[in-house]
Amino acid sequence: MPPMVPRKRRFLTVLVTSLAVMLTVPLSARQAGPSRPHTSPAPQMQPAAPRVHPDASQVGAWSAPADLGVIAIHSALLHTGKVLAWWYPLGDAVNSPARLFDPKTKDIKDVTIPFAGDFFCSGHTILSDGRVLVTGGLLGNPHPHVLDKGHPLTAIFDPASETWSQGASMNRSRWYPTDIALPDGKVLTLTGKDENALITLNMEMYDPAANTFSLLPPRANVPRQNDTYVKMKVLTNGKIFMAGSGAKTYTFDPTTNTWSLTATMNFGDRYHGAAVIMPDLNKVFVAGGTHDHSGGGATGTAEIIDLSAQTPLWTFVNPMHMPRYHANLVILADGTFLEVGGAQTSRYGTPVQVPELYDPATDTWTEMATQTNPRTYHSTALLLPDGSVWSAGSDDPANDASGHTYEIFSPPYLFKGLRPTITAAPTSITYNQKFTVVTPSVGNISKVALIRPASTTHDNDFDQRYVVMNFIRANGKISVAAPPDANHAPPGWYMLVLVGTNGVPSIMPFLQLQ
């Protein structure tokens, strides 16, 4: 859904609005979010009050917020180690502001898209060569009161030159689309709203080699007609699983261009919840969300489905301590999940500033250190190469300054002793290949994995994937078996991580899987 305040009006009045809120609303209410109509909290909710945690080895630690220059409604991690972030044009502008953030130096470069096009609420994914494909966005800027209409424009960001270029136009206009990188290196684009503000049922395929979009036949049309930004996950059999937001979850077979109903979530429709494919690549995990697309009634429930079972079924696991939606679910360097940000009663209302860490091995949630700024609707979060988490965004009109900032979370594993070091590793590998990693920590390694860089917006990470690899110790080195095929790990750039027996991950260099 678009921001509740039209952007042109918001740009001109945010200072007045913020001042009015500060003068008239008590501090506690300002911390809870803007005053706006919303549905009543569900009885299951717990207060989103900050917790005090003195031990960073148990709950991690946050950096102080720092200015980014944009609200990171969209963000992607590049194989250069930098983070690309963008949002919508302001006022009468026709270019989408974008920034390139370097986590090592904290330098920020203005990379505003140089051609006209509002790429707000676009889809995006990282192509196998490392470029970022951005699809669709909002039609109508800079006019206020625009409807939720999409356009067919695309843009491509090249990390090598740090420049944008115009991509091929899609066959359908899309606002709020989903992009998913496929095992053959192509990209499936689906859903979104068209130029008439109607859900686009047609799916299309992007071929990076030809730089063209091709419509799939009508039998491939999405089965659910009232949802956008659907959560799509590539399975090891080459099929693609739709993990929501609707209660009914489906599987798409690209060889036949057909859908099949797989299972129904126990919670029902789980709007604005988050989903990840688990490290075993057979299970999908969902958490948070709400029955109501417009917001309110946040849930803390979580479910898992095992898609390798003969009859896959969704099964409840332990719930979060704090219900939330519009949160980001990040797979950490050790394979655990961090649920960060979100709200409880409206897009920005009752923000949840206490992240929770989920351990799939023990089915437990642990509250983490409280972050300073609320990260609610239109916020993003992703894993950085040093194992920390970048959290930014949220365009609450009553809290504009904090929305322009980023914070970095250091998970507990970064406070639990020495981390393994990688002194030599390949920069490119092929499927089913054995490759060598040199490390002085060879006797203390418990896990070796590839982590696909994130590309995320609206609680939906299009690319996130954690691929565990078999390894043996030989001659003081580690011999690793690369993923067997592209179904297990679609081609592209990945971070290589060694996890020590103490649970501490290495700094993660990038390598290209092809």
Kindly tell me if the per-residue pLDDT of 40 is higher than 70. Answer: no
pLDDT averaged over every residue in the chain? 90
- pLDDT over 70, % of the chain: 89
Contact 82, 100 (CB under 8 A): yes
Has residue 15 got a pLDDT over 90?
no
Give residue 141's pLDDT.
Answer: 65
Upstream peptide bond of 142 is cis (omega within 30 degrees of 0): yes
Tell me what the mean pLDDT of segment 388-398 comes to: 96
Q: Which CATH superfamily is domain 418-513 in?
A: Immunoglobulins (2.60.40.10)
Residues facing residue 85 across a β-bridge:
75, 99
Would the pLDDT of 214 be above 80? yes
pTM for this model (two decimals): 0.89
Q: Is the pLDDT of residue 346 over 50?
A: yes
Which strands sit side by side in the sheet containing 98-101, from one edge to the other? 108-110, 98-101, 83-86, 74-77, 455-457, 460-461
**Domain layout of the chain by residue ranges:** 56-414, 418-513
pLDDT tens, position by position, 91-123? 888 999 999 999 999 999 999 999 999 999 999
Average pLDDT over residues 409-430: 97
Q: Work out whether strand 98-101 and strand 83-86 pair parallel, antiparallel, or are unpaired.
A: antiparallel
Which helix (DSSP H) or strand (DSSP E) does residue 204 occupy? strand 204-207
CATH superfamily entry for domain 56-414: Galactose oxidase/kelch, beta-propeller (2.130.10.80)
Model confidence at 24: pLDDT above 60:
no
What is the distance between the alpha carbons of residues 247 and 260, in angstroms, rounded to a whole number? 14
What is the mean predicted confidence (pLDDT) over 267-284?
Answer: 96
